[in-house]
């Protein structure tokens, strides 16, 4: 069995040490223009995104203070705005843009995983792409 995403990111701490937790936004419904076929380029469609932000949650677990963590409602709004103003051809590109935005929004994050699912893209199958970004390689 392969390593979990958390295990894969556990060495990404750099000078800050490894992450001690993650914040998840699951099942975000996003409206965006997405696809390579001409009929997909005419109007926004709904996609579903899941984000896992890996960071140190030890302090907010003790302080119970929003200032010590990531405001996930504000982050979700930022991700919705990115999707709304984008017009990518590939779900991989949208996932990458969302991942980079999450890292920009949360400077304390060590890494991020974003999965974008495009319902109905292939008859009889679910299609998704996951982008994993290490903050040290982005910043």
- Hey, which residues are catalytic here? 118
Q: Cα separation of 38 and 51, whole Å? A: 29
In sequence order, which residues have a C-beta less than 8 Å from that of residue 92 and are 6 or more positions away?
A: 129, 131
Distance CA 26, CA 23 (A): 10
Per-residue burial over 22-32, b if 16 or more Cβ lie within 10 Å, else e, is bbebeebebeb
Q: Could you give the CA distance from residue 57 to residue 60 in angstroms, rounded to a whole number?
A: 6
Question: Which strands form 111-117's sheet, in the order they lie side by side?
Answer: 87-88, 21-34, 45-55, 111-117, 128-134
């Amino acid at each position: 069995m392969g390593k979990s995403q958390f295990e894969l990111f556990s060495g990404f701490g750099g000078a800050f040490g490894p992450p001690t937790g993650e914040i998840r936004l699951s099942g975000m419904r996003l409206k965006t223009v997405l696809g390579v076929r001409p009929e997909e380029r005419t109007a926004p469609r709904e996609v579903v995104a899941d984000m896992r932000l890996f960071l140190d949650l030890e302090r907010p677990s003790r302080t119970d203070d929003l200032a010590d963590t990531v405001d996930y409602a504000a982050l979700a709004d930022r991700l919705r705005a990115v999707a709304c103003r984008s017009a990518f051809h590939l779900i991989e590109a949208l996932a990458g843009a969302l991942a980079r935005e999450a890292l920009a929004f949360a400077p304390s994050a060590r890494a991020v995983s974003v999965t974008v699912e495009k319902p109905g893209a292939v008859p009889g199958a679910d299609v998704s792409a996951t982008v994993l970004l290490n903050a040290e390689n982005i910043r």
